[in-house]
């Protein structure tokens, strides 16, 4: 452990330790895969939420749908609290009956039997109430949770890519897991517990006064002591819980990162260092966890012992009252019982605060995402477009002319990535973008299908500004092979069909053939029915690309964008794909981005980009004739920067 420098230790704690439970914005959440034990209070020990009342109101609207069920739950809680108190109150006549001097043994046995029967019936009603309350409340809270989860998921689907650029996946995922869990915890149990706690407290105080007001006053005097001590321990343990959760987050974050980066760790032989660093974080967690668990754990016993004091106090004062006034033995028995019962709700209510804070902080983070601005809604004038190959669809039949007019764009305000781009693609043309890494090639394609909205200039399809085309309709008409391949868990067939859900099996095979994927798919153990796992981890990088091409090939979209579609494929296969692609590109406007210039030579137009600007434009022959950058690249005089 000594092998890690102090500087590194601090950096580890800082980088991983602050990333969980953040009710504080981006970059801090962790995925829910690794979840630590919860504190004895069930809460996650997080900070207070920022805006409690509006968060509570919003949560109430979710459970408000089940108004009648909630009303019924509260009636049941009331029932179980009343029967609980009433059941113990019955003890008074039962005991008084036993010690009464003026009754025969037979009468006493009869009365005892009646008393016990009444008591049992009361408790049975109580049990039924508790059962119903639990059962219905869980239904209500699950309904609310499902609705919140669905709303959140729907929202995440609608968020612009910009949101995903600025938030880590872990942060978004932790809202679905940790945050929603804490909300669930509160809805499932805490609400009814608080209600029942308050009722029990009020009921106990009333019954205490009914039983004996002098004793009741003595008991009430001890409340401040209970609250004071409880509050003190609570405060201490709360602060340790926050530290524990942060340390836990550090450990979890570190595990998560090292598991995903196993290959890199092995490549650079960092196993030993990784283990040392993990040990350090783990030790840190242990020391903080011990404190948190200790203070969390002594809360119960300390409060228990304090209630013993009030128990002893009430027994002493009650005993004196029995001897000096006409206070009965039955009354004394139930009173001492109440004095014990009395500290419980106080205790429980103070403990619930942590769960409530955690839940409200979680709910706030969930609502924060829900309040994010979604992709701008389509205007009411926005029109539908469709491909000529899909006669069933309505809307403007796209011929495939794409024009970019003076387009200027930057992801971050003030930092221009594309400057004054002008491109004119006639229907069916093949346009190629070449240029060095970071020149802005992918960015252009991101703008054509409105992943990002442009600030200046316009993009027109068949003369229609894409801002005036419904976003879903626009994207349906642009088939894309993204630079980053992504495959879903499912069969090869399903993955190809993702490009057009109504495609037949024959069309899937035809698309695979165009993409040169058919041969390797045939060799897979189950052919087209082979299940792909973890983003196609059981395939080679090139094979993954072929499937991505097949997915685009199956689409009937009149515009096709291929971003480095064949970068990981060997040159021979690439040649085959090109042949297939020629057939695919027929009657489609195609944008091709490639580093290998051999793939773009036959393009109708080659556009050379440099630092977001077009520096050359023309056919292969024209550009060679110009003898500029393209010529130099082609003859290998300069490498792509």
Ligand X SMILES: Nc1ncnc2c1ncn2[C@@H]1O[C@H](COP(=O)(O)OP(=O)(O)OP(=O)(O)O)[C@@H](O)[C@H]1O
First-to-last CA distance in the chain? 43
Q: Which is nearer to ligand X, 165 or 526 (CB)?
A: 165
Strand partners, 269: none
Residue 417 contacts which entry, ligand X, Mg ion, none (Cβ below 5-8 A, type-dependent)? ligand X
Residue 411 contacts which entry, Mg ion, ligand X, none (Cβ below 5-8 A, type-dependent)? ligand X
Residue 188 contacts residue 311 (beta carbons within 8 Å) = no
CA–CA dist 629, 609 (Å, integer): 10
Q: Which is nearer to ligand X, 62 or 409 (CB)?
A: 409
What is the closest distance, in whole angstroms, from the C-beta atom of residue 593 to ligand X in the complex? 7
What is the closest distance, in whole angstroms, from the C-beta atom of residue 608 to ligand X in the complex? 12
**From the list 441, 493, 556, 620, which residue makes contact with ligand X (rule: CB under 6 A)?**
441
Centre a 10 Å sphere on the Cβ of residue 51 and count the other Cβ atoms it contains: 12
Strand partners, 434: 608
Residue 533 contacts which entry, Mg ion, ligand X, none (Cβ below 5-8 A, type-dependent)? none
CA–CA dist 126, 132 (Å, integer): 10
- Residues with Cβ within 8 Å of 354's Cβ and at least 6 positions away in sequence, in order, are 39, 41, 42, 43, 45, 238, 241
CA–CA dist 563, 556 (Å, integer): 18
**From the list 29, 93, 440, 580, which residue makes contact with ligand X (rule: CB under 6 A)?**
440
What is the closest distance, in whole angstroms, from the C-beta atom of residue 540 to ligand X in the complex? 21
What is the closest distance, in whole angstroms, from the C-beta atom of residue 548 to ligand X in the complex? 15
Q: Which is nearer to ligand X, 27 or 33 (CB)?
A: 27
**Does residue 165 touch ligand X according to CB under 6 A?**
yes
Centre a 10 Å sphere on the Cβ of residue 340 and count the other Cβ atoms it contains: 15
Residue with tokens 């054509």: 448
Residue with tokens 């970019």: 404
Strand partners, 403: 424, 460
Q: Which is nearer to ligand X, 351 or 443 (CB)?
A: 443
List the x/- string, 448-487, binding to ligand X by CB under 6 A.
-----------------------------------x----
**From the list 178, 337, 443, 485, which residue makes contact with ligand X (rule: CB under 6 A)?**
443
Residue with tokens 């019936």: 121
Residue 558 contacts which entry, Mg ion, ligand X, none (Cβ below 5-8 A, type-dependent)? none
Q: State the Rg of the chain over Cα.
A: 35
Selection from 495, 398, 497, 434 nearest residue 641 by Cα: 434
Residue 379 corresponds to which tokens in the numbers above?
A: 């205007």
Q: By CB under 6 A, what part of segment 358-397 binds ligand X? A: none
**From the list 442, 473, 548, 573, which residue makes contact with ligand X (rule: CB under 6 A)?**
442
Residue 438 contacts which entry, ligand X, Mg ion, none (Cβ below 5-8 A, type-dependent)? ligand X
Residue range at the interface with ligand X (CB under 6 A); choices 12-20, 126-134, 431-439, 530-538:
431-439
- Residues with Cβ within 8 Å of 111's Cβ and at least 6 positions away in sequence, in order, are 93, 94, 97, 103
Q: By CB under 5 A, what part of segment 441-470 binds Mg ion? A: 442
What is the closest distance, in whole angstroms, from the C-beta atom of residue 183 to Mg ion in the complex? 40
| Phi, psi (deg, nearest 5) at residue 416 | -75, 130
CA–CA dist 422, 406 (Å, integer): 5
Residue 440 contacts which entry, ligand X, Mg ion, none (Cβ below 5-8 A, type-dependent)? ligand X
| Phi, psi (deg, nearest 5) at residue 377 | -65, 150
Residue range at the interface with ligand X (CB under 6 A); choices 73-81, 279-287, 409-417, 624-632:
409-417
What is the closest distance, in whole angstroms, from the C-beta atom of residue 288 to Mg ion in the complex? 44
Q: Which is nearer to ligand X, 218 or 594 (CB)?
A: 594
**From the list 122, 208, 247, 417, which residue makes contact with ligand X (rule: CB under 6 A)?**
417
CA–CA dist 422, 399 (Å, integer): 20
Residue 571 corresponds to which tokens in the numbers above?
A: 């040159």
Q: Which is nearer to Mg ion, 584 or 593 (CB)?
A: 593
Q: Which is nearer to ligand X, 411 or 520 (CB)?
A: 411
Residue 433 contacts residue 609 (beta carbons within 8 Å) = yes
Q: Which is nearer to ligand X, 443 or 548 (CB)?
A: 443
CA–CA dist 527, 311 (Å, integer): 76
Q: Which is nearer to ligand X, 130 or 446 (CB)?
A: 446
What is the closest distance, in whole angstroms, from the C-beta atom of residue 439 to ligand X in the complex? 4
Polymer length in residues for the chain: 641
**Does residue 566 touch Mg ion according to CB under 5 A?**
no
Residue range at the interface with Mg ion (CB under 5 A); choices 26-34, 74-82, 179-187, 438-446:
438-446
- Residues with Cβ within 8 Å of 29's Cβ and at least 6 positions away in sequence, in order, are 19, 20, 22, 168, 170, 171, 172, 173, 174, 175, 178, 179, 365
H/E element holding 408?
A: strand 402-409
**Does residue 289 touch Mg ion according to CB under 5 A?**
no
CA–CA dist 634, 641 (Å, integer): 14
Residue 307 contacts which entry, Mg ion, ligand X, none (Cβ below 5-8 A, type-dependent)? none
Residue 508 contacts residue 554 (beta carbons within 8 Å) = yes
Residue nearest to Mg ion (CB): 442
Q: Which is nearer to Mg ion, 483 or 602 (CB)?
A: 483
Residue 436 corresponds to which tokens in the numbers above?
A: 């060095």
Q: By CB under 5 A, what part of segment 567-626 binds Mg ion? A: none
Q: Which is nearer to Mg ion, 44 or 561 (CB)?
A: 561
Residues that bind ligand X (CB under 6 A): 165, 411-412, 417, 435, 437-443, 483
Residues that bind Mg ion (CB under 5 A): 442, 483
């Amino acid at each position: 452990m000594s092998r890690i420098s102090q500087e590194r230790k601090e950096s580890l704690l800082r980088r991983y330790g602050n990333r969980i439970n953040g009710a504080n914005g981006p970059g801090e959440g962790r995925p829910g895969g690794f979840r630590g034990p919860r504190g004895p209070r069930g809460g996650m020990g997080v900070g207070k939420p920022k805006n409690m009342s509006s968060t509570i109101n919003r949560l109430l609207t979710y459970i408000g749908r089940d108004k009648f069920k909630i009303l019924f739950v509260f009636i049941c809680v009331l029932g179980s609290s009343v029967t609980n108190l009433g059941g113990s109150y019955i003890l008074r006549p039962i005991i008084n009956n036993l010690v009464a001097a003026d009754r025969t043994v037979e009468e006493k046995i009869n009365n005892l039997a009646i008393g016990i029967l009444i008591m049992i019936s009361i408790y049975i009603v109580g049990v039924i109430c508790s059962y119903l309350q639990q059962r219905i409340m869980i239904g209500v809270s699950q309904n609310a949770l499902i609705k919140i989860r669905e709303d959140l998921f729907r929202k995440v689907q609608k968020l612009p890519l910009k949101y995903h650029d600025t938030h880590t996946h872990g942060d978004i995922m932790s809202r679905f897991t940790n945050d929603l869990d804490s909300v669930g915890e509160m809805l499932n149990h805490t609400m009814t517990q608080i209600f029942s706690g308050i009722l029990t407290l009020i009921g106990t105080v009333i019954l205490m006064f009914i039983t004996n007001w002098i004793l009741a006053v003595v008991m009430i005097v001890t409340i401040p002591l209970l609250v004071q001590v409880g509050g003190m321990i609570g405060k201490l343990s709360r602060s340790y819980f926050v530290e524990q959760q942060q340390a836990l987050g550090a450990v979890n974050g570190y595990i998560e990162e090292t598991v995903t980066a196993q290959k890199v760790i092995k490549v650079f032989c960092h196993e030993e260092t990784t283990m040392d660093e993990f040990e350090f974080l783990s030790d840190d967690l242990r020391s903080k966890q011990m404190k948190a668990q200790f203070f969390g754990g002594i809360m119960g016993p300390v409060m228990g012992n304090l209630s013993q004091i009030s128990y002893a106090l009430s027994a002493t004062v009650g005993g004196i009252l029995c001897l000096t006034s006409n206070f009965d033995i039955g009354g004394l028995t139930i009173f001492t019982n109440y004095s014990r019962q009395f500290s419980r709700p106080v205790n429980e209510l103070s403990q619930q605060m942590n769960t409530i804070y955690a839940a409200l902080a979680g709910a706030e983070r969930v609502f924060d995402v829900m309040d994010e601005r979604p992709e701008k809604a389509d205007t009411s004038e926005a029109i539908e477009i469709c491909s000529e190959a899909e006669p069933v669809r309505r809307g403007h039949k796209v011929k495939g002319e794409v024009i970019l007019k003076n387009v200027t764009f930057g992801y971050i305000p003030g930092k221009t990535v594309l400057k004054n781009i002008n491109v004119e693609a006639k229907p069916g043309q093949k346009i190629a973008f070449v240029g060095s890494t970071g020149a802005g090639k992918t960015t252009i394609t991101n703008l054509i299908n409105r992943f990002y909205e442009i600030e200046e200039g316009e993009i027109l399809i068949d003369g229609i500004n894409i801002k005036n085309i419904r976003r879903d309709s626009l994207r349906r008409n642009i088939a894309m092979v993204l630079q980053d391949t992504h495959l879903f868990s499912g069969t090869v067939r399903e993955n190809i069909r993702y490009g057009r859900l109504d495609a037949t099996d024959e069309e899937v095979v035809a698309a695979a053939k165009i993409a040169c994927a058919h041969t390797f798919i045939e060799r897979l153990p189950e052919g087209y029915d082979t299940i792909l796992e973890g983003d196609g981890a059981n395939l080679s990088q090139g094979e993954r690309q072929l499937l991505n091409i097949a997915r685009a090939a199956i689409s009937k979209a009149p515009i096709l964008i291929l971003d480095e579609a064949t970068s990981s494929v060997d040159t021979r296969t690439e040649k085959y794909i090109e042949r297939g692609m020629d057939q695919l590109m027929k009657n489609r406007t195609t944008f091709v981005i490639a580093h290998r210039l051999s793939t773009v030579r036959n393009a109708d137009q080659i556009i050379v980009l440099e630092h977001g600007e077009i520096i050359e434009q023309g056919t292969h022959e024209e550009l060679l004739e110009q003898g500029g950058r393209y010529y130099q690249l082609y003859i290998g005089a300069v490498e792509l920067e």
